[in-house]
Amino acid sequence: MKIKIYILLLLSYQIFPQINLKYQDNKSPTYEETIEYYQYLDEKFETARLFECGLTDIGKPLHLFVISSDKDFNPLTLKEKNKRIILVNNGIHAGETCGIDASLQLANDLLFEILDKDLLDNVVVCIIPIYNVGGYLNRSSYGRVNQNGPEKYGFRANGKNINLNRDFTKCDAENSKSFTKIFHEWKPDIFIDTHTSDGADYSYTMTLIPNHFLRMSEPLGTFLKDKMLSDLYKKMEDKNCEMIPYVMPFKQFPEDGIRASFAGPRFSSSYAGLFNTIGFMTEAHMFKTYEERVEATYAFILSVIEFTNNNYLKIGELKNQADENLKKQNEFIMLYDRDTTNYDLIKFKGYKVKFKTSNVTGRQLFYYDKNSPYKREIKYYNYYKEIFSINKPEYYIIPQAWKEVIELLNLNDIEMKQLSSDVELKVEVYYIHDLKTSRRQTDFHLYHEDFNIEIDTQEIQFYKGDYLIPTNQIGNKYIVEMLEPKGEDSFFRWNFFDSILQRHEYFEPYVFDEIAEEILNSNEKLNEEFQEKKKNDIDFSKNIYAQYDFIYRNSPHYEKEYQRYPVYRINEKINLPVE
C-alpha cells in the first residue's frame, strides 16, 4: 500500500506541484490551505464543485465539495440517474485530522485521474472538508496528549464548546443544523465519518465502527453484516492495511474480548442509520505515525468507493426496499442490552499487557509491550437483545408551542400537516414518573437516564396550527426515536420538554381543608384508600401536608399538565381538519 501511495503522491506533485502534502512530514494543512485547494479543484475541473452550505458556530461557512463525473450537481437528478451518493465527513473532532488530509489527497487523485476514472461511473463523492471549523482554527500541539502527531491540530469541541459527535439529534450547534441540511438535501446512500482512536494498543492502523446491523432496517442490515463489511475488510487487507473492529475491551484488555459499538443516534453513523444510510466511523489508531493514519483512512474511503461503484444497483435496490419496509413497520425496538452469551470469534493481533512501577506515582501501571506481540482468537460481542419496544401510532400530534422540536422535525425532512381549525381529540397521553437524571452535563443538557411511563387516554384541546405527523413515511424511525420519550436520544431525554416537569399550581392547607373533606365524602373509594394509607404508612400518618397532597393529586383540582408529555398519540386513522 505504501509504495502505491508514494507513486500516487509523486504523480500528483508532477501534475500540480503546489499541492501541500504535509502529512508525509507529520503536518496537517491549515483551514485556509484546505479550502484554497478545494477552490482550486473547483476552478480547474468541471466535474467538481465547492458549495457553501450554511454557517458554523464560528461564523464561517460549512463547505461541501462534490465530485460528479457527468457534471451534474443536482441531488434529485443524480438519484434519477441511479447514482449512489457517498458523503465523507472530516474533522468532527478537529484534533483528529486524518480524514482531512486523506480526503484532500483522494479528491486530487480522483480528479487528476491518478485513480481509475471508472470509479466514478456510478458514484458521486461528497466531502465535508472540515466539519468542526471553530475547533480546527483553535490549533495547537498540546490538545491530544495521547496522539502521535501531526505537529499541530485543532481542538475537540467546536466554537460553542460543543462535542459535535454528540449533537446529531439535539442540534445545539449551527454546524449540526447545517450538516442536517446537507444530509437531507443529498440523501447519501453511504456515510463515512473520519476519526482517530484512543485507548488500547495493538498492531492495526485502522479500526472501524459500522452501523450496527440491528439498528438498520432490513434488508440493509443483513447486506451490511453479511456482504459489505466482509468485502471492505478484504479490500483493506489487499491494500496491505489490515483492519479490525473498533477496539472496545469487554473487560479491561483486548484479550478478554472486545464489544461492538451500539451507539445511539446522537452519534454520526447511528444518526445516518435512522434514514437507511449505511454509516461508518473510521478510527485510525492514535499510536501509529500520522502518515500511516492518513494512508489507512485514504485506503478505507477508496475501498468504500470501489465497493459502492461495483454494487450500486444492489445498494439502491436494497435501500428502496428498506425505505418501503420502514413506512409500513409497526413495532420499533427502543432499547437494547448486550447479549453476553452470544459472540463471534475473530483473529486479533495485539501486544501483551505487562506492569511496571510508575516513577511519578510509585504505583503499578500497565502498559502494552510492543516487543511481545501475539496473534490469537478473541471474542467479539456483536449481539444485542431487545429490552423495550413500542408500536407506532397512526399519528403523533404536537402543539405548535414546542417550536424547537418542530424546527428539528422540519430540518430532518419529516412530513407534517397543520390543523386548519381548533379541534378536541381523544388521544393517548404519557405521564413521566420516577425520573432519574444524570448529574454530569453534556453540552447544555442533563440527560434523563431513566423514568417510568403511565399511559392514559384523555380529551385534549388542540388549535389551528398544531402539527399532525403521519407515520407512513421514510422518516418513521427518526420520528419514533425522537418523539417516544423512551428513545435512547429522544427529545425528552435531552431536555426539550423539561418545563412539563415543573408544577405550577398548589394549595394552602387552611383553604383546602374543607374542600378535601368534601372530596373524601363524595368519593368512597378514595376515602378508603386514604384511611388505609394513614393506617399502614407511619410517615404518611404523621405528615399532614402529605395527606392533603394525596387528596389533591386524586382530585379534579390537580393540574393535568404536570408531568404530562406534550406529544400525543392517535392510534387509529381519522379524518382531521388539516391544511
Q: Give me 47's grid cell.
A: 466535474
Which is the CATH superfamily of the domain at 2-328? Zn peptidases (3.40.630.10)
pLDDT at position 3, please? Answer: 42
Domain ranges of the chain: 2-328, 386-503+561-570, 509-553
The side-by-side arrangement of strands in the sheet containing 395-398 is 417-418, 467-470, 395-398, 568-570, 423-442, 445-462
pLDDT digits (tens, 9 = 90+) for 311-347: 999 999 999 999 999 999 999 999 999 999 999 999 9
Gap between the terminal Cα atoms of the chain: 59
pLDDT digits (tens, 9 = 90+) for 474-506: 999 999 999 999 999 999 999 999 999 999 988
Report CA-CA distances (Å) from 159 to 24, 156, 167, 173, 494.
Answer: 29, 10, 14, 9, 21
Tell whether the model's pLDDT for residue 5 goes beyond 70.
no
pLDDT at position 579, please? Answer: 86
**Strand extents, DSSP E, 197-253:** 206-210, 243-245
Helical axes 544-553 vs 524-536, angle rounded to 10°: 150
Strand, helix or coil for residue 161 = coil
Average pLDDT rounded to a whole number, residues 458-486: 97
Tell whether the model's pLDDT for residue 392 goes beyond 70.
yes
Give 17's pLDDT tier (boundaries 50, 70, 90).
very low
pLDDT at position 9, please? Answer: 46
| Burial readout 287-302 (b: 16 or more C-beta within 10 A, e: otherwise) | bbebbbbbbbbbbbbb
Average pLDDT rounded to a whole number, residues 42-57: 97
Question: What does the mean pLDDT of the chain come to?
Answer: 94
pLDDT digits (tens, 9 = 90+) for 215-254: 999 999 999 999 999 999 999 999 999 999 999 999 999 9
Tell whether the model's pLDDT for residue 13 goes beyond 50.
no
The C-alpha R_g of the chain, in whole angstroms, comes to: 28
pLDDT digits (tens, 9 = 90+) for 528-578: 999 999 999 999 999 999 999 999 989 999 899 999 999 999 999 999 989
pLDDT digits (tens, 9 = 90+) for 280-308: 999 999 999 999 999 999 999 999 999 99
H/E run at residue 283: strand 278-284
pLDDT at position 20, please? Answer: 53
Give 18's pLDDT tier (boundaries 50, 70, 90).
very low
pLDDT digits (tens, 9 = 90+) for 420-451: 999 999 999 999 999 999 999 999 899 999 99
